[in-house]
Amino acid sequence: MTAEALLFDRYGNRKYLNFNERALFYREAMGLPDPAERAFALMLFYTGCRISEALAFTRANLDPAESIAVFRTLKQRAKLRYRAVPIPVSFVRFLEDHASGLAEDEPLWRFCRSTGWKIVKRCMKAADLKGIKATPKGLRHGFAVACVAAQVPLPLLQRWLGHSNLQTTSVYLDFIGKDERDFAERLWPTEK
């Protein structure tokens, strides 16, 4: 897939959340009154996982000692592949509280994919985010773009996203970030 197809639709609309939009989503996710919904939305925000991967997440997939979430990469169903993604310690504690009383192999969330989609869409709407970027996929793409902007090494981002091919991950290098904008601003006349 080309960067253009991954980052923009055929009309040139951005398919990822930028830094400010991610912050707006985060604020709305933190404000969700239902702890299960809040934990779900934050899992997508912090890890860039797919909805189906979050819904398959069990108590056993949380490693509090290392502060990581371990996901089975479901896009590569023919292979049994797992990946570990670091998460904040405060979020680990929140997930532990949410998972208390669950068996090790029980999913943390007992709702379906469409309910997960609706939770994300509700946060997007509350944050006044619209269009193709205001989706779970836009949240995943936004996570990847944020990682590139934070100079996360591409092979590490590849692992966190569960991509089998580094070329798939490298398309995120083509977003217009701060460095590119800084170069462009050198060309513009300064207003005094």
Place of tokens 């991610």: 22
DSSP, collapsed to helix, strand or coil, labels residue 11 as coil
pLDDT > 60? residue 5 = yes
Number of Cβ atoms within 10 Å of the Cβ of 73: 19
pLDDT reported for residue 100: 92
* Cα Dmax for the chain: 64
Spell out the domain ranges in the chain: 3-185
Q: Mean pLDDT over all residues of the chain?
A: 90
pLDDT reported for residue 79: 75
pLDDT reported for residue 68: 98
Place of tokens 């601003």: 185
Please state the rounded mean pLDDT for residues 39-44: 98
Q: What tens digit of pLDDT does each residue of 124-164 get? A: 999 999 999 999 999 999 999 999 988 899 999 999 999 88
Q: Domain 3-185: what homologous superfamily?
A: Intergrase catalytic core (1.10.443.10)
Q: Which of 11-25, 78-92, 131-145, 173-187 has the lowest mean pLDDT?
A: 173-187
Contact 43, 69 (CB under 8 A): yes
Reduce the secondary structure of 47-92 to three states and give it as a string. HCCCHHHHHCCEHHHEECCCCEEEEECCCCCCCCCEEEEECCHHHH
Give the residue from 80, 53, 81 showing the smallest Cα distance to 69.
Answer: 53
**How many C-alpha atoms does 94 have within 13 Å on its Cβ side?**
18
Amino acid at 62: L
Structure tokens at 14: 């951005």
Q: What tens digit of pLDDT does each residue of 70-118 get? A: 998 877 666 788 999 999 999 999 999 999 999 999 999 999 999 999 9
